Every structure is written in C-alpha cells, then in structure tokens.
A and B are shown apart, each in its own frame.
Chain A
Amino acid sequence: MTGEGKAPVRRGAIWIVAEQAGGTLAPVSLEILGQALRMARAAGGCEVAAVLIGKDAGGLASVLAWLGADKVFLVDDPRLLPFQNDTHGAVLTRLIVREDPGVVLFGASACGEELAPTVAARLDTGLGAHCTNLDLSADGLLMMGVLGFGGRVHTEMFCPARRPQMASVKPGMFQPPPRADRKGIVVREDAAALLEGETIRLRAVKVVRKEPEGVPLEGADVVVAGGFGIGGKEPWALLDDLARELSGAVGCTRPALDEGWTSGDHAMIGTSGKTVRPKVYLGFGISGSPHHTVGIKDAGVIVSVNSDPRAPMFESSDYCVVSDFRKIVPALIREIRKVKGDSLREPSPA
C-alpha cells in the first residue's frame, strides 16, 4: 500500500513515548527507541525524538539521549507521577500538535494502553495496537503489523491520511539500541503551560509494585514452559525444579494459567502475554497453539516434549521428544546435576 490519501505524505520525525516506571525506564521504552533508530536509518535518516513525562526524570531523559535519541522532550512535574491518562494525555497532545511528528510509538504497557488511544482520540488519528512489527517506507509511511485470532492472522495496518501515525508496540518484540555514546539534547518543557486549562478528574492515590518471585522471563537465558499437558499443580513442581537447576525462568501457556497451576499471569507466554527470546526454550506438555508460539518465535533453540506425536508444537520446534514429561524431566535433572557435579570436580586451568 503506497501513500495514497487525503493529505500528502511526508517524512516527519519519529517519536517514542518513554515511560518512567518504578524509578527507571520501562524496558519497552528502550525497545521502541531501538526500533525507531533502526527505522530512521533504514528510511534514509530522519529525526528520532523521545518524550518523557514524569517527575524527577532528568537523569532518565539523559539516558535516552545517550542511547541515541536526537532530542528528548522532558516534561517534569510532581503532578505527572504516577501516570494518569488525563495529565499525560493533555501534555502529549499539546506537544504533538506543536511539533507535528510523522510517527509516534508507545510501548503497549498498562500506561501505554491508556495513553495511546486517549491521544489518538484527541488528535483524531490512527493507532495500531499491540504491533508485533513495524516498517517505515522511504516516504514516511508506517506499516504496522498486528496479530489477530489468537496469533493466527497477521494484518498490515496503515494510517495513510492523518498525522501522526501512532502505534503501540508489544513488549519484547524489538531489541533495545546497542550501546552508543551519542549525545542528543534534552529539552525541558514548561509542564505548567502544557497542563494549563486541562480539567483533571482523576487522582492516583497509591502505587503498589511487587516483583514476582523467581527469575523473570524477560532476559532469561533459559525458559522452562509448561502447558495443559502437565495436568495439575503437583506435576508442575517438576518444572519449577528443572528451572531452578538451570537458573531459568518458568513460563506457561494460557490454558495452564487458567487452571491455576502457575504463580500468576506474569508467567504467561503468548499473544496476550509475554514474548521471550531465551537462548534455550524447553516446552513440556504444550500443544503448540499459535497464541503461544508467537511468544517464542525469536527464541534461540526450541526443544519440545509432548506425549502426543501429532502435537502441532513439534512443527514450531527445533528438537522434538515424543515422551511423557514425567519421565523426561527427572532424567534431565539427573543429567544436569551430573554435569554440574563434574564441572565442580574438574581442576581449574592453571
């Protein structure tokens, strides 16, 4: 689809809306910055700017500039933390109207899921949701790839006429920018002016954060995942044991989550859950529905164990073991302990 539409397409700046979360930048903010920089380069070069709306966020703004943003719009005010869709919505809308970027990317975090549609409504522009891939053409048209029907259908979406073209991006889809000592500039905005006249109807009273136990799925080198085939909370303990032996993270499919065998939905891997890219993924009792396999498509090596030889999971795996996980996992743990025991006994190099 080319740039047909009511208004002439031109290449404006690519913006990313960064998120201040728990004293640092949300990981997805770095991911969309990485993708924005890649797209800018591939499209022949254009400005990449970051917007950071929060409180005492000067240090974080500098990090964004250092990682490659040409410009960082910093809007710093006590009223801007915690996030609220009305305060952040007002500020971002006014900035966009003033600066007229071509593309604005959001992380599809909880905040992004409110901020993006709020601003899209105020600006009457298009918004692609939970995009799993993005591409910017030379003349500035953004292709937004979205998944539907449980990961079975991929649709390319476009916003041909209105500007900016907005997209919220699924966490885990892109890579953060590689270390680069680029010095973009941080522009401190007048927060009071940007909030002027806006009726604020909401009040964030308390924020509670609790890190879940265990190794987080994001960034884990090894992921041990279980599906409906595990059959119960007791057998699930085998997977926890295996993950512990490997210092890996435990993940699950939606059916296993719905059965209540896992610690919470932070463990779910899939289209409506997390995307992981471990070096090794070990899946047990997973049938392999697209909902889940989308979440592991960029994993290094995928090993699947299932007692059903016709499980679709085997088509999406590098190595397939047709067996009962109740036999394989204990054998695996024994083998791993043997290897770890051997490596302890080996004399260290002189």
Chain B
Amino acid sequence: MSGFHIVVLVKPVPDPGCYDRVEIDPATGALARQGMPSVLNPSDRHALEEALSLQERHGGRVTLVSMTPESSAETLREALAMGGDEAVILSDRAFAGSDSLATSRVLAAGIAKVAPFDLVLAGNESADGGTVHVPSQVGELLGVAHLANVVRLEVDADGSVRARTRIENGYVEMEGALPMVLGVRREINTPRYTSLMGVMASQGKPIRVLGAEEIGIDGSRVGMDGSNMRPGKLSRPEYCRKGERVKGDPEEAAARIVGILRAEGVLG
C-alpha cells in the first residue's frame, strides 16, 4: 500500500466558549458539566489538518481514534466531515476516571487494534485538561519515538522525519524516522473548513465502537482503578481585590494612577 497509515487522536471536549457555565455541585463537590455542548478539542483540528496534508502528499489512510463516551459519535462524524477515512471510538464504563497514563494505555491499545500504523498525531493539549501528557505517554507505551510541541513537520516518502519543536524563545530542529507519535501545537497549520462534500462523505464513513474486551485491555489498568492520580477537593479560585473606583475625568484618573505608581516605587 502506498502512503502512510496515520492515526489522529481526537477528543471531544466541553466547548471552551461555555466555560462560564461550569459549576461545582455543592452537595457532592463534583463537577457539574450540564448543558455544555461538545466540540472537537481545538488542538486536534490542527493534528487532523496535518494528517490530511500528509495524506494529500503521500497517499495512504487516516484513522481517527478517540477515548470518549459513545454519545460523542456526532462530534467524531463532524471530524470525519473535515477529513479522515474512519473513526474508532474506545468506549467502556471501565475507562471512566482515567488519569492521563491510564488514558494513554487505552489509546495505545486502541491504536494497536488498528495497527500497523506509521504515524500518530495528537493535539498538544486538551482544552479541559491541558496536560500535554498523551503524546509522550502513548509513544512510550507503543515503544516508538515521540515528540511534543511540534510546530513544523516534514515527512519524506521513505519515512524520515524532520520536526521543529517549540522551546522558550526559540525552537529545536529534530530528526527521526517513522513510526513516531507527535504532539502538535496550533501554530503548525491553519485547519481547513469543512466543505459540503465533506459533510456528505462523512455520512458513509465507518465509526466503530470498541470496548475494553475488544481492545484486550485489563480493567485493573484503566479507569479509576488503573489511575495513579486521584482527584481531591474541587474549588473555585477567587481573585478578589478591593475594587476601589477611581472617579473623575481622564486627567484626574491619570493623576491618581501616577500617584499609585510613585507610591509603589516604580516612578521617580
């Protein structure tokens, strides 16, 4: 088969535009996420776009893999409308409460199920968790080279890889070879819009749902039981300050602010 098999890890997350609706249930102390619509994790669109660009260049297949409740299938279909050949949802009650390493175990097992693969792409971080762990940990579990913070990617037909990773105030040019797992940052590309043709094509693309047994993963290694991290108390951080109103016209307000700057010792 010419071209590569690229797996894109995607995750439906609560719409960041609706974060103001997140509540902590006073009775249970747990998170109440009612009524927050799901969207594809913004970073994942960039991972998918990168996969589709590589597919246009080299040919091959793109498979979306997601650990998410089956009810999120609609969001996966929206992703397929942007591109990709099929989606695999890893869903099982046993997965609930997984920390990032347990999640990575599930994803690695799911990827093994759609193997062989050449490249796994993921958005660098998820909007709700933001851990950046998944690319590194999935790479470790699959036993392949991995990088995170990728902002530019070149893959040759022979599988050699040149990736630019972002560091503080600069970047590093890395070299490697497929198979690899890469976490990409948003600045790597501009995701394409979904076309009408894509919407139509997505209707016929397969979305498979696999549970713990089907991917051959032990229940004790996933979910709450398989997680080394445990959540404790939730709270809403408050950053309240004295909120004193500065009255007057712009000149008076400016004079007041200058007074504050002098009092704090940052102005003559």
> Could you tell me the distance between the alpha carbons of A264 and B118 in the complex, rounded to whole angstroms?
33
Closest to A305 in B: B253
A316 to B237, CA, bound (A): 11
Q: Judging by beta carbons under 8 Å apart, are B168 and A201 in contact? A: no
**Is the beta-carbon distance between A335 and B254 smaller than 8 angstroms?**
yes
Q: Are B261 and A222 in contact (CB under 8 A)?
A: yes
Closest-by-CB residue of A relative to B246 is A321
Q: Are B240 and A315 in contact (CB under 8 A)?
A: yes
Chain A: CB-nearest residue to B131: A129
9-residue interface stretch from A41-49, A63-71, A149-157, A172-180: A149-157
A205 located at the interface, meaning its Cβ lies under 8 Å from any Cβ of chain B in the complex: yes
> Restricting to B143-168, which residues have a CB under 8 Å from any CB of A?
144-149, 165-168
Distance of A117 from chain B, by nearest CB (Å): 4
Interface residues of B in 113-162 (CB under 8 A from A): 125, 128-134, 136-137, 139-141, 144-149
Q: Does A109 contact B (CB under 8 A)?
A: yes
- The reply to whether A316 and B146 contact each other, CB–CB distance below 8 Å, is no
The residues of B that contact A320 with a CB separation of less than 8 Å are 243-246
Contact present for A208 and B128 (CB under 8 Å) = no
| B26 within 8 A of partner (CB) | no
Is A221 in contact with B266, judged by CB distance below 8 angstroms? yes
Among A303-350, those with CB < 8 Å from B are 303, 305, 314-323, 327-328, 331-332, 334-336, 339-340, 342-343
Q: Which residues of B contact A155 (CB under 8 A)?
A: 231-234
A335–B141 CA distance with the chains assembled, in angstroms:
61
CB atoms of A321 and B172 under 8 A apart: no
Among B129, B165, B228, B260: residue with most chain A CB under 10 A? B228
A272 at the interface (CB under 8 A from B): yes
Name which residue of chain A comes closest to B180, CB basis. Answer: A201
The tally of residues in B whose CB lies under 8 Å from a CB in A reads: 78
8 A Cβ contacts from B244-268 to A: 244-246, 250-251, 253-258, 260-262, 264-268
Q: How many Å lie between the Cα of A221 and that of B140 in the bound state?
A: 42
A113 engages B132 (CB within 8 Å): yes
Q: Is A159 a contact partner of B228 (Cβ separation < 8 A)?
A: yes
Determine whether A26 belongs to the interface, using a CB cutoff of 8 Å to chain B.
yes
Q: Least Cβ distance of B100 to chain A in Å? A: 7
- Whose C-beta in chain B lies nearest to the C-beta of A327? B250
Report which of B146, B232, B268 forms a contact with A158, defined as CB distance below 8 A. B232
Taking CB atoms and an 8 Å cut-off, the chain A residues in 220-273 that contact chain B are 221-222, 246, 248, 266, 271-272
Query: Chain A: which residue is nearest B144 at the CB level?
Result: A201
Contacting residues, chain A, for B112 (C-beta < 8 A): none
Please determine whether B230 and A158 come into contact, CB atoms closer than 8 angstroms.
yes
Q: Is A114 in the interface zone, CB < 8 Å from B?
A: yes
Q: Does B201 contact A (CB under 8 A)?
A: no
Task: Indicate if A204 sits at the interface (CB-CB under 8 A).
Answer: yes
Tell me if A122 and B140 are in contact (CB < 8 A): yes
B205 to chain A, nearest CB (A): 31
CA distance A154 to B22 in the complex (A): 12
Instruction: Tell me the complex Cα distance, A206–B170, Å.
Output: 11
Contact A282 B257 (CB under 8 A): yes
A153-B234, A321-B246 known; A301-B149 Cβ under 8 A:
no
Contact of B268 among A85, A114, A328, A340 (CB under 8 A): A340
Which stretch, A30-38, A72-80, A181-189, A290-298, touches the partner chain B? A290-298
Q: Which residues of A contact B170 (CB under 8 A)?
A: 207-210
Given A290-B237, A328-B254; A129-B140 close (CB under 8 Å): no
Partner of A109, one of B144, B168, B175, B254: B168
Question: CB distance A201 to B260 under 8 Å?
Answer: no
Using known A-B contacts A110-B149, A114-B148, A321-B246, determine if residue A154 contacts B237 with beta carbons closer than 8 Å: yes
| B218 at interface, CB cutoff 8 A | no
Of B125, B172, B229, B241, which is within 8 A of A157 by CB?
Answer: B229
Given contacts A121-B136, A266-B169, A301-B264, 17 further A-B contacts (CB under 8 A): A84-B174, A114-B148, A114-B149, A117-B136, A118-B140, A149-B128, A152-B22, A153-B234, A157-B232, A211-B169, A221-B266, A280-B261, A280-B264, A301-B260, A320-B244, A328-B257, A342-B268
8 smallest beta-carbon distances between A and B, as pairs: A126-B228, A156-B232, A209-B170, A331-B254, A201-B145, A121-B140, A343-B268, A117-B133
A-B contact list, 5 entries, CB within 8 Å: A117-B131, A130-B130, A154-B234, A207-B167, A279-B266
